[in-house]
Structure 1
């Protein structure tokens, strides 16, 4: 797999292009992502959203229109693509495929797995391709996503973090913001974050 990364917008939200067997998957096209995406794909096949926050989906509609691509989005966050719940003026987009819970799918012959980790948002998920996690705003290097937004849930975040501790094997993590890390490295600090979240409940 080849992975291209470009931070986008004021929040420096990582947009990724993951190329597998010559097929380009666009993950979280945020603010101003369209030109970079167009300049860096040769065979685009899908837009994959980890969750619905505006800084991750801002360019969904524009990229979809220009490249004629389907949008995949977790069920719990589909409303964010159309309703702009945080009032940021996000251009609305319509998901073509709704992902429910932990779901494995095949797109153009490539296996993609969504792992559902709600808390930051109701649909917050990581996208697993081979031994790589695109973790959106669930896990960052030595940190986790916020759980104090509208539609966030500290209780769900605790359950998701506990779930992440049970996963065997190692994965390289490419988060929605900041630098890459690994699942093993983050599993060492997840217990600390579980306690931090619990203190706020």
Structure 2
């Protein structure tokens, strides 16, 4: 398994390409991600969105059309893809597959699970592939995603933190912004955030 990462746009949103057995999964193609993704992929099989915020899905439609692959997005965030609720001029897209909470998929032998961790957004999910967790805007290095945006919920974020604190494996975490980390490295920070939500 190879992981390519490139920060995109003003918010430096991490776009990931996961390469396994010469097949590629694209996670969170943000602002102006198309050229970088197309340069690096040879056999793309799906676009996976951790959540619906514009800086993570901006290039969804262009890449889906150009590469003829489907978009998978948590069902509770699909409205953000379709309606551009922040009115920033994003080209609307629509998920081909509306992902249910904690749903699992297999893409040509590659197992993928969307772990539902709402709070930052209603559908916010972290995508697990081979003991790597692509956490979107749920967990960052030493912090968590904001939950004071429209459609956010501090109460849901608290439940999501408690949910992942029950995990007893030191999974590698690749956030939507900033450097990678691990779950064990983040546990103290996550426990501290519970006191502020």
- Would you say same fold, with TM above 0.5? yes
Structure 2 unmatched runs, 5+: none
1:9 corresponds to: 9
Distance 1:146 1:25 in 2: 26
- 1:168 CA displacement: 1.7
Distance 2:93 2:115 in 1: 22
Question: SS of the residue aligned with 2:105?
Answer: strand
2:155 corresponds to: 155
1:139 corresponds to: 139
CA displacement, residues 95-122 of structure 1 (integer Å, 9 cap, x when unaligned): 0111111111111221100100000000
Distance 2:33 2:140 in 1: 21
Distance 1:23 1:188 in 2: 36
1:187 corresponds to: 187
Alignment of 1:54 with 2:54, yes or no, is: yes
- 1:87 CA displacement: 1.5
- 1:65 CA displacement: 0.8
What TM-score results when the alignment is normalised by the length of structure 1?
0.97
CA displacement, residues 121-180 of structure 1 (integer Å, 9 cap, x when unaligned): 000000000110000000000000000000000000000000010012111111000000
CA contact (8 A) 1:131 1:172 kept: yes
Distance 1:135 1:17 in 2: 14
- 1:188 CA displacement: 2.0
Alignment of 1:87 with 2:70, yes or no, is: no
Alignment of 1:174 with 2:193, yes or no, is: no
Distance 1:89 1:146 in 2: 23
Q: CA RMSD in A?
A: 0.6
My pick for the range that moved more, 15-24 or 114-123, is 15-24
My pick for the range that moved more, 56-65 or 180-189, is 180-189
Structure 1 unmatched runs, 5+: none
CA displacement, residues 39-98 of structure 1 (integer Å, 9 cap, x when unaligned): 011110000000000000000000011100100000110100001111211110110111
Distance 1:48 1:21 in 2: 18
Alignment of 1:125 with 2:132, yes or no, is: no
Distance 1:117 1:20 in 2: 25
Distance 2:86 2:125 in 1: 19
CA displacement, residues 176-196 of structure 1 (integer Å, 9 cap, x when unaligned): 000000011111211101111
CA contact (8 A) 1:164 1:187 kept: no
Q: Structure 1 residue runs of 4+, over 2 Å off?
A: none
CA contact (8 A) 1:15 1:33 kept: yes
